[in-house]
Amino acid sequence: MIMQVKPIHTENDYQKALGRIEEIFNAKPGTKEGDELEILGILIDEYEKKHFPIEVPKPIEANKFRMDQLGMQQKG
């Protein structure tokens, strides 16, 4: 069953869209469900960018994080 695709304005809309994506995750491109999957992916991405932004780390913090991942320590 094809869901009526509409903008995601609320947390409830977002949760419904995520649930629908789970249902049609393996839809084949070019099918009605494949098109629905693509559109929902775009809508969810935009909602997440607006409501759950990820800030770019400061360069020094990024370097410290990467050094920690590699098991490196600053000398000095």
Residue 8: CB atoms within 10 Å? 21
Q: What's the number of domains the chain is made of?
A: 1
Q: Is residue 5 part of a domain?
A: no
Q: Is residue 35 part of a domain?
A: yes
Range of lowest pLDDT (1-10, 22-31, 55-64): 1-10
Q: Please report which confidence band the pLDDT of residue 15 belongs to, taking 50, 70 and 90 as the band edges.
A: very high
Cα gap 46→39, rounded to integer Å? 11
Residue reference for tokens 């049609």: 24
Q: Is residue 76 part of a domain?
A: no
Cα gap 72→76, rounded to integer Å? 13
Q: Is residue 2 part of a domain?
A: no
**Which range marks the domain in which residue 40 is found?**
11-69
Q: Is residue 31 part of a domain?
A: yes
pLDDT tens per residue, range 41-64: 999 999 999 999 988 889 989 899
Does residue 3 carry a pLDDT above 70?
A: no
